[in-house]
Structure 1
Amino acid sequence: MKNKSFIFILLYLILSVSLYAQETEIFIGNKKSKLAIAYAQVFLDNHIIGFSNSKGMLDLGIKNLNKSDSIKLTAIGYKANFISIEKLTHKDSIFMEEEIQTLESVFIVDKALTAREIIEKTKKNILENYKLDSLNFKIHKTETRTYEFEQFDIEAKKLTLILEKEKQKDFEVRLKKYVDSMNNTIHLSRKSYSFLFKQLPYDRPKIKKIGDTKFFMTPHDPLSVIIWSYTLEKALIPFLNTDLNFKLKSGAIPFERSYKVSEEINNSNKKNYFKKDWYQKNILNPLEYDFLKNSDDYDFNIEKTVHLDDNIYYHLSFSPERNRKKIEGQVYISVEDFGILKGNFQLVDGKNLENINLKLVLGAAMKKNKHEVTFGYIHKTSGKYIPKYFSIKNGEYNYLHRDYRMKFVNDNWLKANDKVTTTLLLEGQGLELTEITFEENH
């Protein structure tokens, strides 16, 4: 009998070296705050074998687990921990480090939705999720425009009586300096200002300017450098030493209207500059974005699920499903209420919003080749989403290679020999960027 008891004890001790049959209770907490982490998940071989409770306590049965096995401990917003079973038996607490991370496939909502279903639920919940009729913001807006020439040149072919022969050489030198200054710089203008925007239910929005507008501009306004009349006037008239009025005509086949010089009237008051158009409809109501408004024209895909601002969001991408659409982008949509937190979109590579190519016929071309939008919202504790930032960038490519004639008027009689014949070559890229940020007024 003693021998049987001895054999039984010996077998038990041998088995217990590699197998454990006890319950292990461990506290799961935040490494910094030491607070409990509720619903942390325990994985073994990619299978969930346990959860911490609301107080952070993990009751883990490790029956029939080998010493060499390891478990994986995960929680939303924390780095994953890998711990061997052997070490686990000697622990009464595990503290996890915070980390914003991409969620794995285990974080799935009650029903697996398709990307199309997510978009439809987003559209359906727009009025519920966004404050559209009761708003009070301080808005900061910056408008930046740039123009950069790939090539720019003016050839003065005929100066006639407007410029004396002995002065023509000096004129050519000065004209070359002007051309070089246009080519070797980025022409820029920037306006920055703030205003209050208040919208009450069933009332018109009220807008009030705050303070002065901040201005910066290079010697040539980027909006003007591609206007042929401005370009020729600024390039030639100051060097011709004449105050005569003139008309401009272009080539044998007119492409633009004739232009007659007049006194420059500048009514813009820089201190009071204020443009009320701030893409209000799009910003306050995401349904105005084309990928939602005409969602049937786009193909949507779920890229992944991510953890942002203590909430879980679908990360969706979209692209044109029909040829007439030209934008693609991405958007982050709440798993909980289907509100849009942020997104961006731009032209598909190789696409243009508009394209006119008359280089061979009229020496002119234009392409609207840039269109980029970025937007973001804040998810308030009230459950509503309010604007945080918005930006839109538009770009246009231009090309002109044409002959222009400047005919000068003296005593209301047009003299045929008082003229300048030129060839203008202009090719460049312009960009217009509007950036808007929001502060909530209380």
Structure 2
Amino acid sequence: MLKKSLTILFLFGYIYFSFAQQVSGKVLTIANEPIQFATIQIGENYGVITNEEGNFSIATDGFKPTDSVYISCLGYEKSGHLLKDFVSKEYKLAEQVNELYEVYLTNKPLTLDSIMYYVNRNLKKNYKNNLVEYNIFSRRTEYIVGKDADFEIDKSTGFKKKQLEAFNKDFDELETSLLNNKSKQYTEFVGKLNIKDEESSKLEVDKAIRLLDERNNQSVEKLTEKAKEIVLKHLDKDKVYTVKSGLFKMSDSVSLNEDNSKMEDTMNSLKFIRKMVHNMVESHGFSSKTILNFITDTRKYEYEIKDITFIGSEMVYVISYAPRRSSADFEGTFYVSNQTFAILKADYKFAKGRVGEKLNLKLVLGVKYIEQNKKGSVIYKKHPDGYYYPNYMTDQLDRYFYVDRPIKFKDNNSSEKVAFDFKIEGVFKEKNEILIMSEREITESEYNATKEKRKIDYEELKAFDPEFWKDYNVLEPLKEMKEFKVEY
């Protein structure tokens, strides 16, 4: 009887273990430094990667206690575990001792020119950019750092003193909220991105979330909306105005009674999000839109083999690069397989003195815009079909802006007019991350059959919910996101 009871208990434990389990942990070096983007893998095509803090969370349901779990990262020894021993805790990886580097430096079987030649020669063989379906997790982090703001009425007719005071009071509050705001906005979704070619894609969103304190929303749309609300609040909606900004007349028949609030909400527009995600995938591939020109345009850059490392038994060249010509933008490191000459990982950032798109009409129109501090990484994973697909991409960018413009409203039926001084300066900070959880080749007919919605239905949360993505293997959030909460 006791033996039978123990057998039942064992079977119950086995069945319980095979159901949904969530293992969370942290991957560290022997010196207790977090290892970012390490892979935690069960089987051939199932796993997650660690975030920038070294943290991960993975669901283990559907696997047997005797299945193997491997933790690996470029430059570190792979760590193997049985699933039954794989629990929530810290895991440490030892740096891989490189005994072949000296031999390589002595024998030099391949020159840098040869390595880069074979990398580019094999791009079409190693990477596939069309008719692919990606099952993705996307995270977008945005916030603004206000540097200066000044909104004030300096001339007016037809306004009483109390009206002017109320107008400027509202503008003062907008200035204060811009300069003092420290809150961040987080947007996440899980869905399928179907790519036909460089220009065509479709996105199906399964589930989406937004963490946002509406009182501190400093998006472009919200700042525009707040400024407009102030204008509508204090000007006569029954009148028609001529609007002039600086030397240019913007319109000679603006009615404030018209509904101008139907500007498309780009944050909810599926078209906008799909374009952003598709462009990110394409720019981290090797199409004509690639941001990785430090690999494809070798004339612009100078290279150096910094090391040789391994991922499993595969030898990997560690190559640093920097601009050789003024038209080159980036510096960083990338990793090349000695077997296939595929790029396994690439890191990049703007080199010193480099910026992206810019517009400087500060003296003429009072407008300045500069893209700066761009940096990012991409990690590729080899699929059983022989192609390498992006596994994780991250891209960060600061957008400096400066606007100093006078704006005048003149009543078309009288001499009444109001002149505003509008000055604002700051930096929009944006970070995008895409984790590709799986991928598969699709046919053109499958692509054509895919249907898109117009809008993404986000669930708006007032505090971080660790259970929201419990059924998905997504990227573990950073500590600051876990601490998000709207205070009332």
TM-score category (smaller protein): 0.5 to 0.7
| Greater fraction of residues in strand | 1
Equivalent residues in 2 for 1:45-60, closer than 5 Å: none
Note the C-alpha offset of 1:216: 4.0
Question: What is the percentage of aligned positions where both structures have the same residue?
Answer: 20
* Residue in 1 that maps onto 2:189: 193
Distance 2:403 2:157 in 1: 25
Q: Which has the larger radius of gyration?
A: 1
Q: Secondary structure, in 3 states, of the residue corresponding to 1:313?
A: strand
Aligned residues of 2:152 and 2:168 also touching (Cα < 8 A) = no
- Cα separation, partners in 2 of 1:239 and 1:126, compared to 1, 3 Å: same
Is 1:117 matched up with 2:120? no
Q: CA deviation at 1:268?
A: 4.8
Distance 2:77 2:378 in 1: 28
- Could you tell me how far apart the structure 2 residues matched to 1:297 and 1:210 are? 39
Q: CA deviation at 1:356?
A: 3.2
Letter of the 2:286 counterpart = N
Q: 1:134 to 1:310 in 2, by over 3 A?
A: farther
Corresponding position of 1:440: 438
1:276 to 274, 290, 303: 274
Partner of 1:347: 350
Matched, 1:371 2:374: yes
Are residues 379 and 111 of structure 1, via their aligned partners in 2, closer, same or farther at CA, if it must alter by over 3 Å?
farther
RMSD: 3.6
Question: In the alignment, is residue 142 of structure 1 matched against residue 111 of structure 2?
Answer: no
Matched-pair contact (CA < 8 Å) for 1:331–1:343: yes
Match of 2:415 in 1: 416
Relative to structure 1, the CA distance from residue 348 to residue 154 in structure 2 (aligned partners, 3 Å threshold; closer, same or farther) is: same
In the alignment, is the contact (CA less than 8 A) between 2:358 and 2:370 conserved in 1? yes
Report 1:223-262 matches (<5 A): 223-224=220-221, 232-240=227-235, 242=237, 244-251=239-246, 253-254=247-248, 257-258=250-251, 260=254, 262=258
Distance 2:427 2:398 in 1: 7
Structure 1 residues 84-130: Cα deviation after superposition (integer angstroms, max 9, x where no partner):
xxxxxxxxxxxxx9833252424539753222221111111122223
Q: How many residue pairs get matched?
A: 339
Which residue does the alignment assign to 1:85?
none
Aligned to 1:314: 317
For residue 193 of structure 1, what is the amino acid of its counterpart? F
Q: Which amino acid aligns with 1:384?
A: Y
Change (3 A) 1:290 1:381: same
Work out whether 1:153 is the aligned partner of 2:156: no
**2:67 equivalent in structure 1:** none
Cα 1:137–1:107, aligned 2, differ >3 Å: closer, same or farther?
farther
Unaligned runs of 5+ in 2: 1-74, 79-91, 441-488
Cα gap change, 1:332 to 1:157, in 2 (>3 Å): same
User: Structure 1 residues 226, 427: closer, same or farther in 2, change over 3 A?
Assistant: farther
* Residue-by-residue CA offset, 1:270-325 (whole Å, 9 max, x unaligned): 77735322224334437832122322111111111122344321111111211122
**CA–CA separation in structure 1 for the residues paired with 2:310 and 2:425:** 46
Q: Distance in 2 between matches of 1:329 and 1:323?
A: 16
1:407 is displaced (CA, Å) by 2.5
Q: Is the 8 A contact 2:170 2:230 kept in 1?
A: no
Aligned in 2, Cα 1:268/1:190: closer, same or farther, shift over 3 Å? Answer: same
Aligned-partner residue type, residue 182 of structure 1: L
What is the aligned partner in structure 1 of residue 399 from structure 2?
Answer: 396
Give the aligned partner of residue 180 of structure 2.
184
TM-aligned CA distance change 1:129 to 1:361, over 3 Å: closer
The structure 2 residue matched to 1:384, chosen from 376, 383, 387, is: 387
**CA 1:177 to 1:78, structure 2 compared with 1: closer, same or farther past 3 Å?**
closer
Per-residue deviation, 1:209: 0.9
Output the TM-score relative to the length of structure 1: 0.66
C-alpha distance in 1 between matches for 2:320 and 2:397: 22
Secondary structure, aligned partner of 1:168:
helix
Query: 1:355 offset after TM fit, Å?
Result: 3.4
Distance 2:394 2:77 in 1: 32
Residue 265 of structure 1 deviates from its aligned partner by 1.3
The answer to whether the 8 Å contact 2:191/2:207 transfers is: no
Check whether the contact 2:189–2:209 (CA below 8 A) recurs between aligned residues: yes
Q: Indicate yes or no: 2:304 matched with 1:301.
A: yes
2:262 to 247, 262, 265: 265
Secondary structure of the residue that 1:416 maps to in structure 2?
Answer: coil
Asked if the contact 2:366/2:402 (under 8 Å) is kept, the reply is yes
Q: Kindly tell me: are residues 383 and 111 of structure 1, through their superposed partners in 2, closer, same or farther at Cα, counting changes over 3 Å?
A: farther
| More moved, 207-216 vs 329-338 | 207-216
| Structure 1 residue 358: Cα displacement | 3.4
SS in 2 for 1:392: strand
Contact 1:102 1:305 (C-alpha < 8 Å) held by counterparts = no
Show the 5 A alignment for 1:2-13.
none
> Displacement of 1:231 after TM fit?
6.3
**Maintained 8 Å contact 1:157/1:422:** yes
Larger RCO, structure (CA 8 Å, separation 6 or more)? 2
Stretch deviating more after TM superposition (384-393 or 169-178): 169-178
Aligned residues of 1:405 and 1:420 also touching (Cα < 8 A) = yes
